Amino acid sequence: MPRPLMKYCPQCGNKTEPIIPEGDNRVRDVCDSCDLIHYQNPRIIAGCIPAWDDKVLLCKRAIHPRKGFWTLPAGFMELGETTEQAALRETLEEAEAVVQAQGLYAVFNLPHINQVYMMYRSALLKPEFSSGIESLEVRLFAEHEIPWGSLAFETMRLSLEYYFQDMKAGAFKFRSADIEKPLFR
């Protein structure tokens, strides 16, 4: 299983060694000097599918990775917030849009990069939005307008596919998927 290598202790700066600590069952980076055990766990990315009528709001990324590609507003959860708060905050930051959360819609596991995505359905309170600092452009897309070939991430493609399938079916149901390591582009 992938485990980012750590060479130096974040607490004292001395060298760490990859060992299995007593009572544990997997390798951790442990400090030679202060005995700090550096635990690493997956990171959560929270985002929104902001809707207005039959359209959804996408942002064109102004930052790497995948600069210039389209994404739903989403980003790493910060300490002290809930996943829903993180999703709403990212939508405000990236699309300058105020939305009302309508419940958790999709969860994606990406074990090869140690990430978990949590995507919320949400409603724009009014069709007002603009490019936040991390976006080059923000606009509403109906299904036939979605730039399928220029989406930033597999998680966004799946979120949008599920969303429009459910919209046409007339009922949104909770979705989840485990995404394996993508092929080289």
Question: Which residues contact Zn ion by CB under 5 A?
Answer: 9, 11-12, 14, 31, 33-34, 36
For residue 7, the minimal CB distance to Zn ion (Å) is 12
Closest distance to Zn ion from the beta carbon of 3 (Å): 18
| CB of 17 or CB of 81, closer to Zn ion | 17
Q: How far is the CB of 100 from Zn ion (least distance, A)?
A: 46
Cβ proximity to Zn ion: between 16 and 122 the closer is 16
Cβ distance to Zn ion smaller for residue 11 or 82? 11
Query: CA 180, CA 185: separation in Å to the nearest integer?
Result: 14
